[in-house]
């Protein structure tokens, strides 16, 4: 048998030792009366059965799962007294552990042998001190949250994988999730960073420098993603142009240079300043470490029609062009090799001025296609579809960026009747496990809807916990956010309460596993015409509940297609523990993100995007679709054809390419996933067979953003299982 491993309560992964199971049963066996004891042969049979069950899981079981298996075997063998003794012993040990729930986890964090936390976030390196400090603080926050701040039934539902209470490691503090930074307000009207007044910049390069400082400060005062728009930097291009033109005219005054010569030289210097400014943003975002131990999770929005006049649009095009060129180039790793950075994430809007060959900004779209083929970004928003989907109270459609990877604000009109997006934010997320609802119903549809409503009520109460945690938060808690323009201009000592109601901010009901839910209830994929109505009914029920809660609380509840990362593995393990292995439903170590077509389903790119567009419209709080493609660097026309299809058919989508590098042999193709001798999934260079993760650069899209620090076994299996759509 291959060497198996288990996950201890501390999160540490160790070699499976069946003798420990034997010893635990023997201890209980000795403490019961002689007539209730089982023979040594019967005891070993139970141990062997449990060992075989663990081996069939195809992953490292948690020690709690193994103990559940022992209890089930004892009960199945009619050894009820012995089972009771074993359960009592287990309960007694749990009470002892409850006295302090964090010490063991923190110690394993420091020694870098906590497998669960090591692979929790694919953009955090758990060996770095700053990351460890964030994780240590997170363990304390989770402990406080579990024992004091949350009701016991919500904690129990979270532990059982019935719901997921996101970001519990930040819940003890009064922090929100994600936002759209009002960079325009901060640059045009000034801001304060670390007690220092920052006035309106007098050049494009200075504006870029200030923007990166704002990004870092914002990231350190929240736990989710943030987005900025390049449009807010565009006015500073003309400020620099005029400044440079004046300098050039003065330099060349003695030789009598013509206006044309002055303009040419000035424009050349301007382009150089734009290059340096964009380089500042790219390199500072990549190299900055925020207080949570990672580069700022920032999205950069590129939308030509956001410009207020033709000059500003032309200048914005210069910025977008340089941004794409620099991302195509990439950044150098420690060996000096150009690789794909995880951040900033780029979003490019497809719009009438750039969607066809006869339009003035088509060249930018071609550049974006090359960038996607090489570096996996930008992702694409269709202005056409977004204007259809995002309609405000005035009946006007709007196109705007998400907050990070996929979380979208809902349309909002301020007191003056004007649309507002920048400066708004999300309060937090709670996700419902749709697969658990289906399995708990026993395929009884009446029972399904009853359980669904009960679980949604649980989510509502959990979301209100998030909202109430933010109530009363003083603006002084994060001055950069609440006092100096990133989100608001509140007074010192003022609470943020008015920003939590009336639709100014959103709060998100997440959902996961629609495919598996529908598969269990109907026997078919939700792409099947017979099963699709049930899938849409599930989506409608969640939207109806959000509307009901919104009317009740005057809070903007919104349905959100959750980007499961480590939680996909957690939910899968919980489902296997509660319901066993069910083919097509719980037989993977992951469940499907939100409404997505299952990663193993054979479907072409265009059919997939068209199908998923209907579900995007029903996820107003956030959603993104993707197509999995091979290396497209030599087939840019195919990339462009997908982009044109996105424009006509779906609001927000991306192409998942591969971007890897082996530091041992220099291979720059796709690094593959293999099974090692113990059955664990590992990354391997197909050229030199290097399996040392420290000596390779792997970048994969996992949840709408790029991860570069590897993933847990569930997500790794999901990546391995993906089929190509093109």
Q: What is the pairing mode between strands 226-229 and 298-302?
A: parallel
Long-range contacts of 304-312 (CB under 8 A, 24+ apart): 304/349, 304/351, 304/353, 304/354, 304/361, 304/364, 305/349, 305/351, 305/353, 305/383, 305/399, 306/229, 306/231, 306/399, 307/231, 307/234, 311/238, 312/231, 312/234, 312/235, 312/238
Tally of CA atoms within 13 A in the half-sphere of 408 that contains its CB: 25
- What is the rounded distance in angstroms from the CA atom of residue 538 to the CA atom of residue 518? 9
Inter-helix orientation angle 40-56/18-30, to 10° = 140
Inter-helix orientation angle 204-219/259-287, to 10° = 20
Neighbours of 242 (CB within 10 A): 12
How many whole angstroms from its chain centre is CA 648?
26
- What is the rounded distance in angstroms from the CA atom of residue 419 to the CA atom of residue 263? 38
- What residues have CB less than 8 Å from 598, skipping those under 6 apart? 515, 516, 525, 592
Of 537, 508, 509, 510, whose CA–CA distance to 522 is shortest?
A: 537
- What residues have CB less than 8 Å from 11, skipping those under 6 apart? 105, 108, 114, 115, 116, 117
Supply angle C-alpha 248, 326, 265, rounded to 5.
15
Query: In a 3-state reduction of DSSP, which class is residue 672?
Result: strand
Of 491, 636, 618, 497, whose CA–CA distance to 554 is shortest?
A: 497
How many whole angstroms from its chain centre is CA 445?
32
Q: Enter the tokens of residue 337.
A: 């090799």
CA distances from 25 to 21, 38, 272, 418, 679 (A): 6, 10, 73, 69, 28
Of 297, 309, 276, whose CA–CA distance to 227 is shortest?
A: 297
Please measure the distance between the N-terminal and C-terminal CA atoms of the chain and give it in whole angstroms.
Answer: 39
Strand partners, 560: 510
- What residues have CB less than 8 Å from 121, skipping those under 6 apart? 294, 565, 566, 709
Neighbours of 440 (CB within 10 A): 19
- What is the rounded distance in angstroms from the CA atom of residue 73 to the CA atom of residue 439? 22
Helix spans in 394-531 (H): 434-440, 445-470, 479-482, 514-522
**Catalytically active residues, by annotation:** 177-178, 403, 405, 407, 426, 560, 565, 704
- What is the rounded distance in angstroms from the CA atom of residue 308 to the CA atom of residue 170? 39
Q: Where are the beta strands (DSSP E) in 501-605?
A: 506-512, 556-561
Helix spans in 476-566 (H): 479-482, 514-522, 532-553
Q: At which residue do the structure tokens 């480590």 appear?
A: 566
Neighbours of 139 (CB within 10 A): 22
- What is the rounded distance in angstroms from the CA atom of residue 130 to the CA atom of residue 290? 9
How many whole angstroms from its chain centre is CA 333?
24
Query: In a 3-state reduction of DSSP, which class is residue 457?
Result: helix
- What is the rounded distance in angstroms from the CA atom of residue 654 to the CA atom of residue 646? 9
DSSP 297: -
């Amino acid at each position: 048998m291959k060497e198996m491993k288990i996950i201890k309560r501390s999160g540490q992964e160790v070699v499976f030792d069946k003798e420990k199971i034997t010893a635990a049963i023997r201890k209980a066996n000795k403490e019961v009366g002689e007539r209730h004891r089982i023979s040594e042969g019967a005891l070993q049979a139970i141990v062997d059965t449990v060992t075989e069950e663990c081996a069939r899981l195809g992953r490292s079981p948690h020690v709690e799962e193994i103990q559940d298996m022992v209890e089930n075997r004892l009960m199945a063998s009619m050894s009820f007294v012995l089972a009771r003794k074993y359960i009592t012993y287990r309960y007694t040990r749990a009470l002892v552990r409850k006295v302090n729930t964090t010490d063991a986890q923190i110690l394993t964090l420091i020694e870098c042998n906590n497998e669960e936390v090591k692979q929790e976030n694919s953009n955090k390196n758990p060996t770095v001190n700053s990351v460890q400090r964030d994780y240590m603080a997170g363990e304390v926050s989770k402990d406080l949250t579990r024992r004091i701040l949350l009701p016991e039934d919500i904690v129990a539902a979270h532990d059982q994988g019935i719901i997921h209470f996101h970001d519990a490691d930040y819940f003890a503090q009064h922090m929100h999730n994600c936002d759209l930074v009002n960079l325009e307000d901060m640059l045009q009207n000034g801001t304060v960073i670390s007690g220092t007044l920052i006035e309106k910049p007098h050049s494009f390069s200075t504006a870029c420098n200030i923007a990166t400082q704002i990004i870092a400060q914002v990231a350190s005062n929240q736990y989710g993603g943030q987005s900025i728009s390049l449009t807010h930097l565009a006015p500073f291009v003309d400020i620099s142009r005029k400044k440079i033109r004046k300098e050039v005219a003065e330099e060349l005054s003695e030789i009598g240079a013509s206006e044309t010569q002055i303009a040419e030289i000035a424009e050349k210097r301007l382009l150089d300043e734009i290059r340096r400014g964009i380089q500042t943003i790219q390199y500072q975002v990549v190299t900055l470490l925020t207080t949570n131990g990672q580069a700022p999770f920032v999205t950069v929005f590129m939308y030509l029609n956001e410009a207020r006049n033709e000059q500003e649009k032309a200048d914005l095009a210069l910025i977008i062009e340089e941004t794409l060129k620099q991302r195509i180039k990439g950044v150098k790793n420690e060996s000096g090799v150009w690789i794909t950075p995880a951040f900033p994430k780029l979003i490019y809007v497809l719009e009438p001025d750039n969607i066809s060959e006869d339009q003035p900004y088509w060249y930018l779209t071609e550049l974006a296609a090359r960038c996607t083929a090489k570096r996996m970004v930008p992702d694409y928003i269709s202005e056409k579809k977004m204007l259809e989907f995002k309609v405000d109270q005035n009946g006007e459609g709007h196109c705007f960026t998400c907050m990070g990877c996929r979380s979208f604000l809902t349309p909002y009109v301020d007191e003056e009747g004007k649309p507002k997006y920048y400066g708004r934010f999300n309060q937090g997320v709670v996700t419902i496990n749709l697969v658990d609802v289906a399995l708990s119903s026993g395929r009884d549809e009446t029972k399904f809807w009853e359980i669904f409503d009960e679980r949604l009520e649980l989510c509502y109460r959990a979301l209100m916990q998030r909202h109430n945690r933010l109530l009363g938060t003083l603006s002084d808690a994060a001055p950069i956010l609440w006092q100096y323009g990133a989100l608001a201009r509140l007074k010192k000592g003022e609470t943020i309460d008015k920003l939590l109601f009336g639709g100014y901010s959103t709060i998100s009901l997440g959902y996961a596993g629609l495919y598996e839910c529908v598969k269990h209830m109907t026997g078919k994929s939700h792409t099947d015409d017979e099963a699709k109505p049930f899938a849409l009914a599930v989506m409608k029920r969640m939207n109806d509940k959000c509307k009901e809660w919104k009317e009740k609380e005057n809070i903007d509840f919104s349905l959100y297609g959750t980007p499961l990362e480590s939680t996909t593995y957690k939910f899968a393990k919980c489902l296997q523990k509660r319901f066993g292995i069910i083919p097509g439903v719980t037989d993977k170590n992951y469940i499907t993100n939100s409404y997505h077509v299952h990663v193993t389903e054979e479907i072409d790119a265009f059919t997939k995007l068209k199908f998923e567009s209907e579900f995007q419209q029903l996820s107003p709080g956030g959603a993104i679709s993707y197509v999995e493609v091979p290396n497209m660097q030599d087939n840019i026309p195919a990339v462009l054809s997908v982009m044109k299809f996105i424009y006509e058919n779906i609001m927000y989508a991306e192409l998942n390419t591969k971007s890897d590098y082996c530091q041992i042999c220099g291979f720059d193709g796709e690094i593959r996933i293999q099974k090692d001798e113990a059955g664990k999934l590992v990354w391997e260079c197909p050229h030199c067979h290097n399996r040392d993760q420290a000596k390779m650069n792997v970048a994969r899209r996992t949840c709408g953003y790029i991860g570069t620090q590897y993933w847990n076994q569930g997500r790794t299996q999901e990546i391995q299982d993906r089929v190509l759509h093109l």
